[in-house]
C-alpha cells in the first residue's frame, strides 16, 4: 500500500527579510575593509598621525598657558618687592623725622628753661677754709693778737698796700711759646649724596641695621663737591684711633657697606 502524495514533507522556501539584507551588506563591507587593510594598507587614512597632531596641539596650548601664569607670578613678585622697598624707605624716613622732631623739642625745652644764677654769698661759702690758717698755727703756737678792723693807722707807720714789693721780687721771664696742635678726631666715611636729606635717610637706615657698630657714633656731613656739582659725605665718629676705625671699616665691608677712614669733620647731621 502506497502513501498519498500529500504526506511527503515539502521544503519551505527561505524568505528574504530586510534584517538579513542589512547583515549581508555589513559582512561585505567588513570583508572589503579587511581585504584593503591586508592588500593595500596605504589607501586607508592615517588615524594615528591625526591623533598625535591633536595631542601636540593640546600640549603646546597648555605650555603657553603655563608660561603666561609664570610671567604673571614673576610680575606679581616684582610688584610685591617694589612695595616692600617703598614701605621700608617710608619707615626709615618716618623714623628720621621723628628723631628730628624729638631733637627740636629738646632744644625748645632747653631754650625755655630759666638760667641758673649764683650769688656772691654762695661763692663766699664755697671758699676753702683751713688751708691758709694751718701753716700759721703749726709755725707759731702762741695765740695771735686780735686784729681791729676799723682801727686808725699809727702815726709814722708805713702804709701797707696790696702791690708786690719790687725790691725783693725777681723779674718773671717767659720761655718761647710752644703751640701744640689739637689732635684731630678720627671718623669713617660711609656714603656720599648730592643732598643732605639723602644722607639723613641713609644714616637712619645704616644706624638701624648696623646698630652694633654705629650706635655709639654721631653723624656729620662734609661738603665734598663744588657749586656746580654739589656732593656731601656722610662721616660717623668720633673713633678712638685709626686702628679701631680700620677694624670697624673691615666689619662693615664684610656686610657690604662702603667705608673708609676719614677725619671726623663737618657739621652735625
Biggest CA-to-CA distance, the chain? 219
Is residue 233, in this structure, part of any structural domain at all?
yes
**3-class state of residue 11 by DSSP:** coil
Pairing mode, strands 218-223 and 267-268: antiparallel
**pLDDT at 46 exceeding the cut of 60:** no
CA proximity to 246, closest of 232, 262, 234, 257:
262
Strand 267-268's sheet: what is its strand order? 260-263, 186-193, 232-239, 218-223, 267-268
Element (H, E) at 29: helix 18-39
Range of the domain at 81: 48-104
Task: Provide the CATH number for the domain around residue 228.
Answer: 3.30.70
What is the reported pLDDT for 238? 94
Q: Which of 9-23, 35-49, 160-174, 183-197 has the highest mean pLDDT?
A: 183-197
CA proximity to 232, closest of 261, 193, 269, 197:
193
Phi-psi region of 188 (alpha: psi -120 to 50; beta: other; left: phi over 0): beta
Alpha-carbon distance of 178 to 234, in angstroms, equals 35
Alpha-carbon distance of 65 to 56, in angstroms, equals 14
Q: Does 199 sit behind a cis peptide bond, omega within 30 degrees of 0 on the bond before it?
A: no
CA proximity to 189, closest of 142, 145, 249, 148:
249
Ranges 50-59, 85-94, 171-180, 240-249: which has the least confidence? 171-180
Final residue of a domain: which of 59, 84, 104? Answer: 104
**pLDDT at 130 exceeding the cut of 80:** no
Residue matched to cell numbers 660717623: 236
Q: pLDDT of 154-196, one tens digit each? A: 655 555 555 555 555 566 666 677 766 667 899 999 999 999 9
What is the reported pLDDT for 88? 86
The mean per-residue pLDDT over the stretch 208-230 comes to 91
Radius of gyration, alpha carbons of the chain: 56
Is residue 124, in this structure, part of any structural domain at all?
no
CB 189 within 8 A of CB 235: yes
What is the reported pLDDT for 184? 80
- Domains in the chain: how many in total? 2
Gap between the terminal Cα atoms of the chain: 150
Looking at residue 167, the DSSP 8-state letter turns out to be T
Final residue of a domain: which of 87, 104, 121? Answer: 104
Is residue 224, in this structure, part of any structural domain at all?
yes
- Give 233's strand partners: 192, 222
Q: CB count, 10 Å around CB of 269?
A: 18
The mean per-residue pLDDT over the stretch 35-42 comes to 70
Is residue 205, in this structure, part of any structural domain at all?
yes
**pLDDT at 215 exceeding the cut of 80:** yes
What is the reported pLDDT for 2? 52
CB 263 within 8 A of CB 184: yes
Alpha-carbon distance of 37 to 34, in angstroms, equals 5
Q: pLDDT of 239-266, one tens digit each? A: 999 999 999 999 999 999 999 999 999 9
Phi, psi of 157 (to 5 degrees): -80, 145
**pLDDT at 137 exceeding the cut of 60:** no
What is the reported pLDDT for 24? 84
233: cell is: 659725605
Is residue 243, in this structure, part of any structural domain at all?
yes
Is residue 142, in this structure, part of any structural domain at all?
no
Is residue 57, in this structure, part of any structural domain at all?
yes
**pLDDT at 152 exceeding the cut of 70:** no
**pLDDT at 136 exceeding the cut of 70:** no
Looking at every residue in the chain, the average pLDDT score rounds to 75
Q: Which residue has the higher pLDDT, 61 or 173?
A: 61
The mean per-residue pLDDT over the stretch 78-105 comes to 84
What is the reported pLDDT for 123? 44
Is residue 136, in this structure, part of any structural domain at all?
no
CB 204 within 8 A of CB 95: yes
What is the reported pLDDT for 31? 80
Amino acid at each position: 500500500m502506497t502513501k498519498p502524495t500529500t504526506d511527503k514533507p515539502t521544503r519551505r522556501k527561505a524568505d528574504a527579510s530586510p534584517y538579513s539584507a542589512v547583515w549581508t551588506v555589513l559582512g561585505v563591507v567588513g570583508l572589503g575593509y579587511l581585504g584593503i587593510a591586508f592588500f593595500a594598507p596605504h589607501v586607508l587614512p592615517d588615524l594615528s598621525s591625526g591623533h598625535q597632531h591633536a595631542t601636540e596641539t593640546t600640549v603646546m596650548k597648555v605650555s603657553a598657558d603655563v608660561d603666561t601664569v609664570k610671567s604673571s607670578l614673576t610680575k606679581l613678585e616684582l610688584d610685591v618687592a617694589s612695595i616692600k622697598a617703598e614701605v621700608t624707605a617710608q619707615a626709615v624716613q618716618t623714623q628720621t623725622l621723628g628723631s628730628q622732631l624729638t631733637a627740636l623739642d629738646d632744644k625748645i625745652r632747653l631754650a625755655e628753661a630759666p638760667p641758673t644764677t649764683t650769688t656772691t654769698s654762695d661763692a663766699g661759702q664755697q671758699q676753702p677754709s683751713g688751708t691758709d690758717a694751718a701753716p700759721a698755727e703749726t709755725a707759731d703756737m702762741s695765740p695771735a693778737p686780735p686784729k681791729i678792723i676799723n682801727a686808725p693807722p699809727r702815726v709814722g707807720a708805713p702804709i701797707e698796700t696790696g702791690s708786690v714789693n719790687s725790691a725783693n721780687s725777681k723779674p718773671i721771664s717767659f720761655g718761647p711759646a710752644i703751640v701744640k696742635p689739637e689732635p684731630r678726631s678720627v671718623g669713617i666715611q660711609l656714603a656720599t649724596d648730592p643732598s643732605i636729606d639723602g644722607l639723613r635717610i641713609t644714616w637712619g637706615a645704616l644706624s638701624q641695621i648696623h646698630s652694633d657698630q654705629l650706635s655709639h657714633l654721631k653723624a656729620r656731613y662734609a661738603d665734598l663737591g663744588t657749586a656746580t656739582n654739589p656732593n656731601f659725605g656722610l662721616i660717623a665718629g668720633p673713633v678712638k684711633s685709626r686702628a679701631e676705625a680700620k677694624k670697624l671699616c673691615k666689619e662693615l665691608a664684610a656686610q657690604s657697606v662702603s667705608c673708609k677712614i676719614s677725619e671726623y669733620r663737618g657739621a652735625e647731621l
